[in-house]
Structure 1
Amino acid sequence: MHHPTHNPWKITDENPVYDNAWINITEYQVLNPSGNPGIYGKVHFKNRAIGVFPLDDEMNTYLVGQYRFTINQYSWEMPEGGGPLDEAPLDAAKRELLEETGLKAKYWTELQRIHLSNSVTDELGIVYLARGLEQFEAEPEETEQLIVNKVPFNQVYRMVCNNEITDSLTVAAVLRIQLLILENRLP
């Protein structure tokens, strides 16, 4: 018997299907864990997903609202974006926070690393908590039409619980922060 961490999948062939500046898609011919032939599609991301949860001394955060093309709906979420794989994740987080909100933070804590859809993609998300906030001018990208709202954390937590916020990185960050608050371990 194989150890549970041993890869039981065998790739017999691979076919690149699509490639652009952000992703590539490959279809694999495989032998699955039971030894039977099958196919598996994988979306490879060329960036990391970077999320920043800014939290001020009064326990307010800054939500970013924007229309998300892929889900065809408006979304409220923490500041987030893509960080190139050759860029330090913290540098990408600092850039995203400034771009989307105009905020800079003195204190940074990595909250978590999360695989966003490990059934079809290798996308890794890294979430930071940003404290000691200072306001500057936002620098949004040309593809971003953003609204930034300062919202009390307890209201954001209720929004997550009521499914008003569905962005996975934001949901994970809010739940992690709520746990840290309850355990009196918030940095």
Structure 2
Amino acid sequence: MQWTVRSDRSLYSDQWLDLRLADVELPDGRHLDHRLIRMAPSAGALVVDDRDRVLLIWRHRFITDRWGWEIPMGGIADGEAPVEAAAREVEEETGWRPHQLRPLAYLQPTSGILDAAHHVFVADGATRVGDPADGFESARIAWIPLEDASGLIDKGEIVSSTTATGMLYLLCAKRRR
């Protein structure tokens, strides 16, 4: 059953997010004031080497006060295609230039309250081009075995839903072959 949006207005907006209030009509006719957040889309990539390891960054997220492994990912600049943004983010955050990127998944990590499109790509390999341009992004950069994905999730070392989804998707695809 589809909900109907009767009105939608901004409560707060800046360059990062738009907090909105929607008057939503439920299928039974009742109305619900629903808060939602809209964010600009972002792009990232899982770069996999010939040993089935994924290039990840170890970073602290102050919002949740947690450390974890994540794929390189960030905002899409005006006029930039998602695939270009993903390649740029990988290089800026890791110092590795991914080989040809191909689409892996389009994700909405928390679609019940948040509209934040995540365009996720995959590359078979990368070329080291230097140090990360964004040295503040992570404490470490490492090639992590794809097979370790579920164990890292179990230990709470991968909590990013986009990273977890991408890693598990690749792992399932590998096992289907």
TM-score (structure 1 length as normaliser): 0.84
Rate the CA distance shift 1:143–1:32 in 2: closer, same or farther, 3 A.
farther
Using the TM superposition, give the Cα deviation of residue 108 of structure 1 relative to its aligned residue in structure 2, in angstroms: 1.6
Q: Work out whether 1:130 is the aligned partner of 2:123.
A: yes
Q: How does 1:19-98 map to 2 (within 5 A)?
A: 19-46=13-40, 48-84=41-77, 86-98=79-91
Measure, in 2, the Cα distance between the counterparts of 1:170 and 1:62: 11
Measure, in 2, the Cα distance between the counterparts of 1:160 and 1:145: 19
Q: Work out whether 1:182 is the aligned partner of 2:155.
A: no
Which of 8, 11, 14 is the aligned partner of 1:17?
A: 11
Which residue does the alignment assign to 1:166? 159
Cα RMSD over matched residues?
Answer: 2.0
Q: Work out whether 1:141 is the aligned partner of 2:130.
A: no
Once the two structures are superposed, what CA deviation does each residue of 1:45-89 show, in whole Å capped at 9, x if it has no partner?
Answer: 12x132211111122222201111221211211111222464200
Which residue does the alignment assign to 1:153? 146
Measure, in 2, the Cα distance between the counterparts of 1:58 and 1:10: 49
Question: Structure 2 regions of 5+ residues with no counterpart?
Answer: none
Rate the CA distance shift 1:63–1:36 in 2: closer, same or farther, 3 A.
same
Contact 1:68–1:74 (8 Å) recurs in 2: yes
Instruction: Flag the structure with larger Rg.
Output: 1
Aligned residue pair count:
177
Question: Structure 1 regions of 5+ residues with no counterpart?
Answer: none
Measure, in 2, the Cα distance between the counterparts of 1:30 and 1:135: 50
Contact 1:108–1:129 (8 Å) recurs in 2: yes
Measure, in 1, the Cα distance between the counterparts of 2:79 and 2:115: 16
TM-score (structure 2 length as normaliser): 0.89
Once the two structures are superposed, what CA deviation does each residue of 1:22-58 show, in whole Å capped at 9, x if it has no partner?
Answer: 1111112332222112201110112x13221111112
Measure, in 2, the Cα distance between the counterparts of 1:106 and 1:44: 31
Question: What is the aligned-residue identity percentage?
Answer: 22
Using the TM superposition, give the Cα deviation of residue 131 of structure 1 relative to its aligned residue in structure 2, in angstroms: 1.4
Measure, in 1, the Cα distance between the counterparts of 2:167 and 2:89: 18
